[in-house]
Structure 1
């Protein structure tokens, strides 16, 4: 058992002390603030005077101070009262600075270990298992007593399940700037948005909410010190700023292109409409009539159950194929149409693929499921010979924005057709292990009152309910308001971080790991999808402006803090030079 003196008895010091005491170590504590009551509650001896604490001959001095106060704290310690084999350990989040400071201020007979527990107070108060403890044995004597003392202290963390990583302080700071500092920066920017949970949270948005909770518990002083005292942090902050501005330029550049085409490229627009209306010219190979008939005959053998639906998927890209797999597995008959040629893919899945939109409509599907991109939906819908469809056909979309397709369907579709606007809040990546508990949002925009039309709509929704989806009925306008504050923000953060080229490191805190997963899940979607979230959701521009303001507000806070530090240093230096009674000027005056 060790006798450990904790200097700096704030949140981190108290959290560590609780575990040390629970494991049977003797724990002493000292802090500039009064924490004697807390120490008493934990069964720990508290000393308001550092002299009295050092006289207890602790084997380990554990520095849990703030970075900015560490030097003055070291000056206040009566180092001559300590035994020659005392081990000094710091818990500061920046390492090169603390290493240089400890080597400068401590006698050479005192051992030094620089550590960084990569878990915050929130996680640390529950358990350390699986969390990283990064360390460098900066100065350890060659005698067995000093080596044993150092190993015994580190073993406390290893036995609690910490993942021990021995690496130099300079490498630690590099990793921390790219992981811990970026994680805290994103968390603090999002905190300024006052994000709230919604009825349609995605996994990515839940990640951001958890990130805010975990980072907001640390003081702004701690976060600022990560920036000021880590020479790699400024570069990372500058890159983050550049990435955000680059993404905004991309968004507005796409917006400008669309407006320009609408205003000036009428000839190109007419040609594009002609290409959609005449799919034999769009590069997709038309299958022979006999091929389609043979495929239909083969598949129809498996669809004798009249309760099964005939669903036409319009837009048979990744998401259309993703939905089709589950729809087929449930026994429904699936047709597919797309501007690109997916005949072979469809045949392998058991889907009837039609490259001619008129042939698709002549099959009289009960449900027309639009899995097109947001940008192409209006053009595709205009190309449809809806007069060839049965009355009471149900039109369904799965677009990530809802007011736009709602208004489009109401404007373009005859009253005989029903309209159901939906949004599966998951994709091929997040839904690859099943859809259970994943939110599925829907709005019965226009469904006839007779029993057959109501039943058709309910049977389609049952496809998702049977897979365990959390079914959320919500108006399109309410969906877009929630989605702008969750889905659009989530995709924006993911795409900004993608531009940083974040990489996995040997030190992988949970918050940083969550950000890496967020990047992977968001960049798998096309930029057109992301731009559609921006352009077709009236709430998105407000959220982008709020995110911009939050980031600028954080930069202003940094600037004020840096100004304060420089001003204090300048004023202190001026006082030493100009004031005759300043202690550092006293000796020359007596001489």
Structure 2
């Protein structure tokens, strides 16, 4: 029997006797159940109690409803679709139009598309309605017309649209990489009852293939009618990009183009110049070279029309091209100016050198004997026949990964006494890690770095004799390339143990190899190395960074082999990628990577590039490249040019690729002017083929013989 309390004393006794009504009242008594709109029928007697029942109708929940019907949620969803979703017509459904459509569809917007080419299959796969006739698309009355055409074809496409078939309040949006040109075009060609937004997503299919989060979206509300519905529609369109995490930047079109000329145009120019060089990954990529490879990848997918549009329709682009040209020319003059000075010194010193039969410095150039055994040692070390020493051949070209005992802790027997000769920026950088690993470090330099040495826990010597009398096991040369010969000749070698291991860390390898074999007696071991990183690129650790080495001459005694491995373990323990490679092969790879990297970094440094409020990812790579190379001295860069036989060819190829790109730009510009002058009398056609330079020939990697090697005499 049902409880009478559920009636709250409002029902008359006759109604309580009604079983169906009692059942209904019982079902509706639970506050957690959502009722339907079904009402009960009551007697026509107009008593106060029955009048109350008419005013407050009873709601009956269906017995078979397992889930409550959330009418308010359904209304909210319908309201969201009505207020947030747009019908967007994309004009120009190529690579970029499809790229944007994918996100628009994923957000639930209705997308229509039209293009001169048939992209119906691509549209179908994306859930987009494709129209081959623009009249059909316009008759669908899209709320937004999104122009994704090329810069060059925008005016023609816009003029061909059947505007009369659109609603007169339609919103037009362009996504071109320049902004003043389309803004003027849209405001001139469109009737005033159309709204206009000029925007630029500062990314594309390649740079934003993972996410749009954090990428810049620049826009200007060029013309938005002051009506709530139109303002709301504008905000809904912009929200498409805001919802994906874009950095929304409202900026005038003129301001955008000023920044874009200094960032986007330069980025694409450098990317296209490097693309012509056929740059390839090497076994010894530096971080800087990786940025160049990434830059080529980012820009290679874009058409030449896009790049030409950046040049043609941004009035600041010509100035940037001229500045880039001047910067490259200034760098060439700097290189060849110094080279001219070196040649002059050699010519005028020739007479003086002819008077000296011996080289200066500790008997260099003599025939040395090893322990009285009578082994002759020529200047280039080629006649060395001792069975106790192993000389690595120049023609070994297959690198292999060094496998050091990284997991074993360093014990006292593994510790080395390392003397760093040349305690400048790079010497201090290496010393910090060597000391941290527990090795004893001594240092010598022409400049006084005693305070820095003390802070690092390094024993500093101002006299090279004092340092050598400490009998270090390893002499680590951290001098500049230009001063290496002078420093090596000045060392008191007679004060060292005859089994000392000499190591260099220069950015070129054939040159120091020749110097070591020429000036060091054969009882010294020689290891040529190149840490492919520096204080800037290796400031956060050396893990994964390449370390290249060549065991040029290491004694076969177990103690000497072990000492060489212990030195290499210093870098292996830090996670370096250890690559054994001949000095000749290193220099061939380095000319195509390190020299090009430093050249581009120094050219861009001369431009005074600065961060902008709308940096693209490509432009960020250029800024990082400048940062990575700017800290290195010009002597280091000049050494890469002077002492790598392949560098001159790479410089010439870089010059040729830049000239080819300029010819492409001005050739097309000339064609446009001819077309304007002569009209349709002659058709102008521009080759779309990319001019590519032949790859650097590895046969050119061989350095001249030691007799032809150019040495620098520092005065």
Structure 1 residue matching 2:527: 3-state secondary structure? strand
**Equivalent pair of 1:9/1:64 in contact (CA under 8 Å):** yes
Structure 2 residue matching 1:27: 3-state secondary structure? strand
1: CA distance, partners of 2:361 / 2:133: 82
Partner residue of 2:5?
Answer: none
1: CA distance, partners of 2:615 / 2:217: 11
Partner residue of 1:415?
Answer: 522
Structure 2 residue matching 1:471: 3-state secondary structure? strand
1:495 has 2:602 as partner: yes
Partner residue of 1:154?
Answer: 238
In structure 2, which of residues 509, 512, 525 is the aligned counterpart of residue 402 of structure 1?
509
Deviation of 1:276 (Å) = 10
Question: For residues 260-409 of structure 1, what are the structure 2 equivalents within 5 Å?
Answer: 260-264=344-348, 305-409=412-516
Structure 2 residue matching 1:564: 3-state secondary structure? helix
Deviation of 1:70 (Å) = 1.1
Q: Structure 1 length normalisation: TM-score?
A: 0.90
**Equivalent pair of 1:276/1:380 in contact (CA under 8 Å):** no
Deviation of 1:265 (Å) = 5.4
User: What is the CA deviation profile of residues 289-325 of structure 1, one whole-angstrom value per residue up to 9, with x for unaligned ones?
Assistant: xxxxxxxxxxxxxx99343111110000010001001
Partner residue of 2:175?
Answer: 91
Partner residue of 1:454?
Answer: 561
Question: For residues 445-524 of structure 1, what are the structure 2 equivalents within 5 Å?
Answer: 445-524=552-631
2: CA distance, partners of 1:72 / 1:488: 45
- Structure 2: 5+ residue runs without aligned partners? 1-84, 363-409, 683-715
Partner residue of 1:72?
Answer: 156
Partner residue of 2:92?
Answer: 8
Partner residue of 1:196?
Answer: 280
2: CA distance, partners of 1:275 / 1:395: 20
Deviation of 1:351 (Å) = 1.1
In structure 2, which of residues 218, 221, 224 is the aligned counterpart of residue 137 of structure 1?
221
Structure 1 residue matching 2:475: 3-state secondary structure? strand
Partner residue of 2:306?
Answer: 222
CA RMSD of aligned residues (A): 1.9
1: CA distance, partners of 2:624 / 2:680: 48
1:55 has 2:139 as partner: yes
1: CA distance, partners of 2:411 / 2:131: 83
Deviation of 1:348 (Å) = 2.0
Partner residue of 2:325?
Answer: 241
Partner residue of 1:571?
Answer: 678
2: CA distance, partners of 1:254 / 1:9: 54
1: CA distance, partners of 2:233 / 2:680: 40
In structure 2, which of residues 326, 334, 341 is the aligned counterpart of residue 257 of structure 1?
341
Partner residue of 2:130?
Answer: 46
Deviation of 1:263 (Å) = 2.6
Deviation of 1:83 (Å) = 1.3
Structure 2 residue matching 1:171: 3-state secondary structure? helix
Q: CA distance change for structure 1 residues 304 and 355 in 2, over 3 Å: closer, same or farther? A: farther
User: What is the CA deviation profile of residues 1-40 of structure 1, one whole-angstrom value per residue up to 9, with x for unaligned ones?
Assistant: 1000000000000111111111110000000111111111
Q: Structure 2 length normalisation: TM-score?
A: 0.75
Partner residue of 2:315?
Answer: 231
- Structure 1: 5+ residue runs without aligned partners? 278-302, 576-591
**Equivalent pair of 2:207/2:617 in contact (CA under 8 Å):** no
Deviates more, 1:324-333 or 1:71-80: 71-80
In structure 2, which of residues 284, 290, 297 is the aligned counterpart of residue 206 of structure 1?
290
Structure 1 residue matching 2:220: 3-state secondary structure? strand
Structure 2 residue matching 1:565: 3-state secondary structure? helix
Equivalenced residue count is 548
Q: Which has the larger radius of gyration?
A: 2
- Higher share in helix: 1
2: CA distance, partners of 1:124 / 1:417: 55
Partner residue of 1:587?
Answer: none
